[in-house]
Amino acid sequence: MPSLAPIADPGARHFGLDLARATAILLVLAGHDISAVGDWTGHKAPLWVSLAGPFGVELFFVLSGWLIGGLLLEIAAHGADWAGVRVFLVRRWLRTLPLYYAWLMVLLVVVRPEPLGWHVLHYATLTQNLWHGMPPDDFFAVSWSLTVEEWFYALFALAGLGGVILTGRRWVLPVAAALFIAVPIALRWRVPDSADFINGLNQVAGLRLSSIAEGVLLACALRGRRLPAWLALALAPLGLWLIWLVWSVHFMVAEHIFRTSVMAVVGTGWLLCLPALLLWRRLEGAAGDAVRFISRTSYGLYIMHYSVLTAAPVVLPPAAAVLVGVGAPFLLAWASWRYLEAPVLRRRPPQAWEMADRPGGRAAAPDPRQL
């Protein structure tokens, strides 16, 4: 069996990464959609179904960390400088913020939350849950994870790449990743058990940076190494067992150590599955096309689905609410990808080495499918 050579290049395109994204968003949709439809029809969904959402978000986090870690390692290998940090951040912001702000504007006009000024200020600056839980009004509820991601990009780029620039040592990146794991876990340890698990612990951005850092640390650990395929396949069952173990006890238990470390265990489980997924380079046919479509539109689905889902039963009868609440986000996500996300991504500035590695110093057009 061949060794897992692609593990050294986390930025490479793999069907397995598409499958991971599709799995993540389908878990989120399943958790929200089944719970909502159950409430509408008077059939409350079991707790294990509603927990699919947090597990899907955790997969998004570690996958994002893996890909970002590979990119940061590439920047460091080609000689990190502050211009490279700026380009990295601009590229990340152009991937995530245009749709976020477009949907935020829609919600501000349609919902008109009160106080309006407070919502505009905090959601525009992604501080709505930086060091506290989300506002109780359920306005743009899924945006909590965007706060985690955007602040991680900025802080880790400054700490990790900034450290590489100042010291000239690439080992600063894994050290920074380890600190971004250890510090939030230590801070979570100090949160009292009386705090609500979801809104007082799990959705506080400053306490969740460790999830993305786990993926970065794995990318650093495997950089340039050839992980045997048999080992990658052997790690996946262990990862799935960790995920099942947490899922089976519903992770809403009272023990302090479990409350503070549970999502780190879930993230570790997903990371152990990732090398096996990277072995799956391609899948043709209708199944492969479906996975790639869901992966490509996963960001739009995530951003828009919950708002549509919660609004549908307010303005529509139950049967139509189910159809619109579950189906409309797919249409909106397709339109968002085609008319907003992909056009913006094609205009992102290239990193310096993408220019240098091309004849005549001209970069290839960025692949809009990349995270």
Q: What per-residue confidence (pLDDT) applies to 251?
A: 57
Measured CA distances, 178 to 26, 105, 154, 209, 327 (Å): 30, 37, 17, 11, 41
144, exposed or middle or buried, with CB in 10 Å at 0-12, 13-18, 19+? Answer: buried
* Residues 321 and 40 sit within 8 Å (Cβ to Cβ): yes
Mapping DSSP to helix (H, G, I), strand (E, B) and coil, where does residue 228 land?
Answer: strand
> What is the DSSP annotation of 45-64?
PPHHHHTHHHHHHHHHHHHH
Rounded CA separation 232/249 (Å)? 27
CA atoms within a 13 Å half-sphere pointing along the CA-CB vector of 311: 15
Instruction: Tell me if 238 is assigned to some domain.
Output: yes
* Residues 29 and 49 sit within 8 Å (Cβ to Cβ): no
The vertex-334 CA angle with 329 and 339, nearest 5°, equals: 125
Q: What per-residue confidence (pLDDT) applies to 194?
A: 84
Rounded CA separation 96/150 (Å)? 8
Arithmetic mean of pLDDT over the chain: 88
Report residue 342 as tokens. Answer: 């992909």
Instruction: Tell me if 229 is assigned to some domain.
Output: yes
Enumerate residues 6+ apart whose C-beta is below 8 A from 164.
76, 80, 170, 172, 173
85: left (phi over 0), alpha (psi -120 to 50) or beta: alpha
Q: CA Rg, the chain, in Å?
A: 20
DSSP 44: P
Instruction: Tell me if 155 is assigned to some domain.
Output: yes
Instruction: Tell me if 291 is assigned to some domain.
Output: yes
Instruction: Tell me if 348 is assigned to some domain.
Output: yes
| Ranges assigned E (strand) in the chain | 3-4, 227-228
Q: What per-residue confidence (pLDDT) applies to 257?
A: 77
Rounded CA separation 277/73 (Å)? 21
Enumerate residues 6+ apart whose C-beta is below 8 A from 343.
none
Instruction: Tell me if 295 is assigned to some domain.
Output: yes
> Tens digits of per-residue pLDDT, 94-149?
999 999 999 999 999 999 999 999 999 999 999 999 999 999 899 999 999 999 99
Q: Which one has a higher pLDDT value, 193 or 162? A: 162
Enumerate residues 6+ apart whose C-beta is below 8 A from 75.
84, 85, 88, 161, 351, 353
Task: Single out the residue of 339, 333, 344, 336 nearest to residue 368, CA to CA.
Answer: 344
Q: What per-residue confidence (pLDDT) applies to 5?
A: 38
Instruction: Tell me if 163 is assigned to some domain.
Output: yes
Q: How many domains are there within the chain?
A: 1
What is the rounded (10 degree) CA torsion for 262, 18, 155, 356?
150
Range of the domain at 81: 3-361
Instruction: Tell me if 119 is assigned to some domain.
Output: yes
* Angle between helices 256-278 and 15-41 in degrees, nearest 10: 130
What per-residue string of b and e applies to 321-351 under the rule 16 or more CB within 10 Å gives b?
bbebbbebbbebbeebbeeebeeebeebebb
Give the model's confidence band at 248: pLDDT under 50 very low, under 70 low, under 90 confident, else very high: confident
Rounded CA separation 346/84 (Å)? 18
* Residues 309 and 326 sit within 8 Å (Cβ to Cβ): yes
Give the model's confidence band at 198: pLDDT under 50 very low, under 70 low, under 90 confident, else very high: confident
pLDDT for 7 beyond 50: no
User: What percentage of residues in the chain have a pLDDT greater than 90?
Assistant: 65
Rounded CA separation 253/210 (Å)? 21
Pick the range with the lowest mean pLDDT from 83-92, 160-169, 237-246, 353-362. Answer: 353-362
The vertex-66 CA angle with 63 and 71, nearest 5°, equals: 130
With residue 260 as reference, give the H or E element that holds it. Answer: helix 256-278
Q: What per-residue confidence (pLDDT) applies to 353?
A: 67
